Amino acid sequence: FAVDVYQWDMHRINHIFIFDMQMKDATPSSNIALFGLAMLIAVLAVPGTFWLVFGLSLQTSMAMLFFSVVLAVAYMTLKFKHGYLRFLLGRLLVLLSAPFHAVRFPDFFLGDQLTSHTYLLQQFVLLAYCAGESECATCHTAPKTVWAALAITAVPYWLRLMQCFRRLKDEWYQRRHMPFVDRWSHALNAGKYSMSLLVVVAKMLEYAYDTGATFGIYVVFATIAATYACAWDFYMDWGLLRTKAQGNKDHFLLRSNLALPHHSVYYGAMIFNLGLRVLWVGTLIPQIHLDEKQVYPLVLAILEVLRRCHWNFFRVENEHLNNCGQFRATHLIPLPIRDEPEHHD
C-alpha cells in the first residue's frame, strides 16, 4: 500500500479525495512503509524470542504474537486520532456490517483487499486450531481445520456480494436510463463474486467426496471465475479494452484519459494481471496440491498481494480520471495539494 500511495502522489492522483478522507488523515508513504517493516520484524522476531529464549511451544508463541499485534494496532488506533490506520479500521467495521450501510469507495476497496488475503485468514484459522494441539505437524490436515479454512475463505467474497446488492438497491433509480452494462453493473459484479463463492463450494465438495466428478466441477467453476474476474479487472475496474478511445486513436485497447505517459505500462499490467489470475492452475496438480510444506500456497499468496498492489493503482487512477464508480456528482476533482501553514507576522 505504501508503494501505491507513493505512485499516486507522484502522478498527482488525489487518492485522499477519492477515499473521502481529510487531508489531516493522510500519512506519507514512507511512514506507511516503516509501519509495515515494523510489523514484519515483529512477526519474525516475537515468535522466535518466546520459542527459543523462554522455551514456549511454537503454537503458544504464535498465539502470543497474534494477540500482541492486535493490542499494538488497537493502541496506535486510540493513540493517534488521525491517519490511515484509524481510517481503515473504521471502514473495516462498516465492511463487516454489509449490507446495512451505504457503500462508499473505501468500503468496497477494502473488501477487495480482503479477497486477496484469504491465505492470511486461513493461517489465522490454522493458528487458532493448532494452539491447543500437541501435534502441530498434523493439525493443519485435520478435517475441522480444513473445513474452517475453506469457510473463512468465503467470507470476503460474501461481504463483497452483499455490498453489490446494497449498491444495486441504492443506485437503481439513478441508473435506470443508463446503457445496459452501466445499469446492471452491480448485478454483474455480484455475479463475479457469486462465481468465487461457487469455487469455494466446489472445493468443499472435492474435499468431502474426492471424486473425478467433484474435481471436474471445481475445474470448471475455477476457470469461469478466473476468466470473469480478469475481464472485469480490465474492462470495468481499469476502464481498458476500449475499442474506441475518443480523441486518442493511438490508445489502442486502452482508454481516452491516461495518467501514465508510457502506454506500454498498461499493456504490461494487463499481461501481468492475466498471468497471476491463472496461477491457480498449479493447485490442480496433485503433487503441488498435497505439498505438506505449503511452499506453493505461500508463494501464490505473495504473488496475489503483488497483483492486488498494481490493481490498486489502476483502479484508483481510473476513478480519479473517469469517475467510473459514480461516487461523485461531477467529474471535476481537486488536485492533491496540501495546505501550507499560514505565517503571521
Angle at 75 between CA 70 and CA 78, to 5 degrees: 125
Give pLDDT, residue 273: 92
Assign residue 210 a region: left if phi > 0, alpha if psi is -120 to 50, beta otherwise? Answer: left
The tens digit of pLDDT for each residue in 35-72 reads 677 666 666 666 656 555 565 665 566 666 666 666 66
What is the rounded CA–CA span in Å between residue 97 and residue 162? 10
| Grid cell digits, residue 241 | 479494452
| Grid cell digits, residue 267 | 499493456
The pTM of the full predicted model, rounded to 2 decimals, is 0.81
For the chain, report the end-to-end CA distance as a whole number of angstroms: 40
Please, which contacts does 296-303 make with residues 24 or more away whose CB atoms are closer than 8 Å?
Answer: 297/119, 298/119, 300/119, 301/117, 301/119, 301/120, 303/276, 303/279
| Grid cell digits, residue 309 | 498492489
Q: Is the pLDDT of residue 187 over 90?
A: yes
Residue labelled with grid coordinates 490436515: 141
Interacting residues of 190 by C-beta distance below 8 A, sequence separation 6+: 161, 164, 165, 168
Q: Is the pLDDT of residue 257 over 90?
A: no
Assign residue 323 a region: left if phi > 0, alpha if psi is -120 to 50, beta otherwise? Answer: left
The tens digit of pLDDT for each residue in 262-311 reads 889 999 999 999 988 887 655 544 444 444 556 777 788 888 888 999 89
**Are residues 308 and 300 in contact, defined by beta-carbon separation less than 8 angstroms?**
no
What is the rounded CA–CA span in Å between residue 236 and residue 259? 17
Per-residue pLDDT, averaged over 23-32, amounts to: 69
**Are residues 152 and 125 in contact, defined by beta-carbon separation less than 8 angstroms?**
yes
Give pLDDT, residue 177: 80
**Are residues 197 and 174 in contact, defined by beta-carbon separation less than 8 angstroms?**
no
Backbone φ and ψ for 338, nearest 5 degrees, come out as -75, 145
The tens digit of pLDDT for each residue in 109-133 reads 999 999 988 887 887 777 766 655 5
